[in-house]
A and B are shown apart, each in its own frame.
Chain A
Amino acid sequence: MGITREEVLHVAQLARLQLQDHEIDAYQLELNELLGHFEDLSAVDVTGLEPKPHAVSLTNAWDEDVVRAGLTRDQALSNAPAQKAGLFIVPTILED
């Protein structure tokens, strides 16, 4: 099993990463090496094993239903690269 150049590009597209040509080649090599190691895991019998999604299991961490001050609008916008009238400005999403 190996990951192709097209698959690298597809994954990069899914992850919203624009890559340069030389990066695509480097990542193809690197991902293939790592995937080779992942194959080690497929040899292990995992029948009946419970998946462990977290380090220390907790269930239902409830919060009190009380109003609490968050960031002000100015604070939330303070690091935005583009803003106007109290809003984040994003590039055009819908073309005409």
Chain B
Amino acid sequence: MLRDRKVSAREVATAFLDRAESTRELYGAYLHIDREWTLSQADAAQAKLDNGTAGPLTGVPVAIKDNISTAGQPTTCASKILDGYIPPYDATSMAKLKEAGLVAVGKTNLDEFAMGASNENSSAFPAKNPWDISRVPGGSSGGSAAAVAGRTAPVSLGSDTGGSIRQPAALCGIVGFKPTYGRVSRYGLVAFGSSLDQIGPMAHTVSDAALLAQAISGYDDRDATSLQMPSIDASRVQEGSIKGKRIAVPKELFAQGAEPGVLEAVHRAMDQLRAAGVEFVEVSVPEIELGVTTYYIIAPAEASSNLARFDGIRYGPRMEATGHVGTVAATRGQLFGHEVKARIMIGTYVLSAGYYDAFYLRAQQLRGKMAAHLDEVLQGCDAIIGPTSPVVAFPLGGLSQDPMAMKLVDYCTIPANMGGFPAISMPCGLSEGLPVGLQLMGRVTEDEALLQLAWQVEQALGPQAQPNLGLTQ
């Protein structure tokens, strides 16, 4: 429609902006919307459409998680410690979106500094699940998931450290893709766990996610961990057949407190895939069971170091107190939220003298063992399958009093981050009327093969249920 010029980029942007603004309280998906900013990008996109330099996504609106730096627009990580912060530069992923002519609708809600699985740790307000607004959208990219599921933007960007793209995608019934670590530049992404963080797309279909991944990926010399590889190639995603594919089924992904309804939905999907010619291979990867514990040493350790930069000196508000240390401690103590402080303290503790070998070093050794085992499984199979989340969307407040239960929600997604594996969540039916996510994990750097397989799975599973948003077509 945009390329045929039946509608203008401005008309499309305005329609999505109107919906994003009218549902702002309902979904809590956006922390920041600036119509002028969005419309100026729409005009830039229109110029590309008019002069023949448009790409496949030119003029398409996109919602941006608020831990991705946007020049001249607030980037708060849903934290009071970044209240009023306006980055002077764009993250590489944001710059690439602009270059491709996408149009940012606004900055989306998240758990503070991307730490959480329900979006309830936002210092602003919780985001809500468009399937049922009394339930969480998942997290930490809850706003980006709700924005897409609630049709306020066709696609969005999230970030994934232990499942923060895939888990909310699962809980909101959309597709969420975490590329191989290093394929999307982390430059301008506010760092949480630097060895785990990866930016990725959220969308309604695998093909849309692949196009967005193509737009944001590629080598970037401003990120020392960026892989020297070309952008993810989306051109061959819609090819091939699932017949004859071998997919590994680690029994450990189907245990550990998963809801029966979730397991049933995943098994039903696997039956459909088996009927379409997939061969499932049962495997055991016992290291998966230690994943959450290992993650809660490594991620907080890295976070405690990364978040040391928030000291009220170079950016953010400052709480006055006596002396330098007193001022820094007062600023951090008052402006970081509960979960962020908890993780900074865990990280500081496991890195402190006398505990480093017992916790941090040991966690790294187990991380290596888990990654090597998963890699070995993937050498003999096309992918690893399992549920994305052991639970469907839970009621707001349902787990917030039980920190350990909240952490276990990431049980199925953490293994991919540990080894940098690409992984994707896609809808596979309902449990109790709420969406269930199916996760596929692929070989490191073979993002294209994983996306192609996911597209084939999407075709085999057929159309998925949609939430009732009260919209008329």
Contact = CB atoms under 8 A, between A and B. Distances in A.
B366 A16 contact: no
Interface stretch (B16-24, B114-122, B273-281, B338-346): B338-346
Contacts of A86: none
Interface stretch (B37-45, B235-243, B412-420, B464-472): B412-420
Given A18-B333, A58-B225, A82-B318, A52 B367 contact: yes
B371 A52 contact: yes
B404 A37 contact: yes
A37 B293 contact: yes
Nearest to B420: A55
A83 B336 CA distance: 23
A96 interface: no
A71 B38 CA distance: 24
A38 B195 contact: no
A67 interface: no
Interface residues of B, number: 75
B324 A90 contact: yes
A52 to B, nearest CB: 3
Interface of B, secondary structure class, is: helix
Interface string A1-37: 0010000100111111111100100110011011001
Nearest to B302: A53
Contact of B444 (A3, A31, A40, A56): A56
B162 to A, nearest CB: 12
Interface string B399-426: 0000110000000000001111000000
B167 interface: no
Contacts of A93: 323-324
Contacts of A85: none
Interface stretch (B48-56, B84-92, B142-150): B84-92
A54 B293 CA distance: 17
B180 interface: yes
A78 B270 CA distance: 54
Given A18-B330, A37-B404, A81-B313, A27 B371 contact: no
Q: A-B pairs with the 3 shortest C-beta distances?
A: A55-B420, A52-B368, A18-B333
15 contacts: A11-B348, A17-B333, A19-B341, A41-B290, A46-B369, A49-B366, A54-B195, A55-B371, A56-B181, A64-B221, A78-B86, A78-B88, A81-B316, A88-B314, A92-B324
